[in-house]
Structure 1
């Protein structure tokens, strides 16, 4: 209960500060696309709470430093069954400021998977995954899927343009550090099909190509719907009839205001994760206290069993014989639990 309350409170604080940061950010940046599209938690529970939480917090702090400078990070914290392997990446059209904003949201949502020891989250601007084994080279898996928009059905001309845009992005991304975007006009209209394709930078070029080639048929299966996403183990792809892409800013085009926001969001997200860790620590101590109480009750049950099994446990017939059928002559007086008798023999 303490864990849930602290997590909710921390997220409210974070969101309030994020709203203020985004207001300033509109003057200096694009769209960080912080909408959480899918959160998936693994089936296994953590092995040791204290070690798991400590490793998770360390991993989040280390990966934050990498995200602020490169928009990508991977780290290993700890060893054994509670080690934390973490990977995070922003999509290639996000500026440094957009990336920090998107990652800050991902970092505060992923702890909802606790006490499960793994999870992955897709936002429309970034991706994050955490687990207890090295998954950095994985590019396909059973959870790969396409998610289709269902607001508007498009024409066959849009379908053809979207297919062309997807194929262009898939062909270009592996040789371009895993990222590509494409825009193809729809003939006879003022519309275009927009596509983004992005592999995680931990993949080799060939693995990136295989991931995107696996994702493209599934996302094209969304047509003629106006929007579709491929959420794959090693890559992300999206097409839309709306221009959702940011224009990547020129190098050195940042501002001091943007830097301040980056610092604010980084600090706040760190505090949120720390708050979650503290809440989990309180939860652990409470559970230990409860277990001690339960252990005490078990000791009481064991004592009763020992007494029942010991020579102090007499049959009624034995007591009747020893007290002379509870004769008045053997009565010593009245105790708190009834009449007290003198025993002639045992």
Structure 2
């Protein structure tokens, strides 16, 4: 039996809801605690409260310290590179409040909210250091169906390309590659770590992905220093990103991920390029048809105007031919003789006229 047409759309909605309502990922360290009235608490609270406004001023990343000695607090906030400023502000604002509730007296904590922003603080220097522990894994609940070995090879080619772009540039990259469905990817590092640390963090994230999201349509690894994410739908914001398909030379296939048992047959999906070409053809045909219709209407309108003008000219000529001057009528009626009078009408006498 054919699958109803609404099933793919419904599945996409479920996936979106799954990721949209995902709970924050937090880690509350047990390496130290503080009391509500302590100096550390008095340093931490205003620092966390200032993060949202500081993000508005500084972009997607901000770090600061407050205090001295053992009561010194190090804090940072990071938004995904594709987020608009208002979403970044809202995310950091919510996370900086939530982390105090989830980790009320821990001297070190980290929280990711909706995989969109990170807030982290500690009583030790956490700046310019690559740390991949603890990693948080969130998998797409749908198992992948289809040629999994080819999918795995294509996915790794995409992610390696993005890792190279991000680590050597802005520490952020997005892109997709065509498959039976497009595969979308996003990678990002904390901006203050080195190029080599960024690459190392992202590659370790891909390794973690194989163990926690193997066999699924998508997944993400959230660590203190980087994020790795892939899926079969575009989960990142299109604004501000170069959303173009990535091309890369074929290489040796990486180790296969775990294949899910008994997958159903995959649905056929047209690659984005074919869809765009078809849309261009449809628009071109529609525009040409509209221009042709307008041309025909204008031609008919002009033809009717010209025809009406010719008819009016003929009528005027016919009426002009019926006009006679008074002297002509006198001769034609024999000086209005009673012999030529035919009768009396409402407008006067009626005479028979004879033209020679």
Give the TM-score, by structure 2 length.
0.56
CA contact 1:103–1:126 (8 Å) conserved in 2: yes
CA contact 2:64–2:76 (8 Å) conserved in 1: yes
> Higher helix proportion, which one?
1
2:79 to 74, 87, 90: 90
**What is the aligned partner in structure 1 of residue 232 from structure 2?**
241
2:223 to 228, 232, 240: 232
- Where in structure 2 are the equivalents of 1:121-270 lying within 5 Å? 121-123=111-113, 124-144=115-135, 146-155=137-146, 156=148, 157-186=150-179, 189=180, 191-221=181-211, 222-249=213-240
Question: Is 1:56 aligned to residue 49 of structure 2?
Answer: no
Residue by residue, what CA displacement relative to the aligned partner does 1:197-253 show, whole Å, maximum 9, x if unpaired?
A: 010112122221221122122224423211211122311111111110101249xxx
Q: 1:65 to 1:97 in 2, by over 3 A?
A: same
| Whole-angstrom CA distance in 1 between matches of 2:92 and 2:236 | 17
CA contact 2:107–2:123 (8 Å) conserved in 1: yes
Superposed displacement of residue 138, structure 1: 2.4
Superposed displacement of residue 126, structure 1: 1.0
Q: 1:202 to 1:35 in 2, by over 3 A?
A: farther
What are structure 2's unaligned runs of at least 5 residues?
1-18, 242-356
Q: 1:38 to 1:171 in 2, by over 3 A?
A: same
- Where in structure 2 are the equivalents of 1:301-340 lying within 5 Å? none
Give the superposed CA RMSD. Answer: 2.2
Q: 1:150 to 1:35 in 2, by over 3 A?
A: closer
**Using CA pairs below 8 Å that are at least 6 residues apart, which structure has the higher relative contact order?**
1
Residue by residue, what CA displacement relative to the aligned partner does 1:269-325 show, whole Å, maximum 9, x if unpaired?
A: xxxxxxxxxxxxxxxxxxxxxxxxxxxxxxxxxxxxxxxxxxxxxxxxxxxxxxxxx
Q: 1:169 to 1:93 in 2, by over 3 A?
A: same
3-state SS of the aligned residue for 2:215?
Answer: coil
| Whole-angstrom CA distance in 2 between matches of 1:244 and 1:177 | 20
Range 223-232 or range 191-200, more displaced: 223-232
CA contact 2:133–2:223 (8 Å) conserved in 1: no
Q: What is the number of residues matched between the two proteins? A: 216
3-state SS of the aligned residue for 2:183?
Answer: strand
- Where in structure 2 are the equivalents of 1:258-297 lying within 5 Å? none
CA contact 1:63–1:88 (8 Å) conserved in 2: yes
Which contiguous aligned blocks of 4+ residues in structure 1 show a shift greater than 4 angstroms? 32-35
Larger Rg: 2
**What is the aligned partner in structure 1 of residue 56 from structure 2?**
68
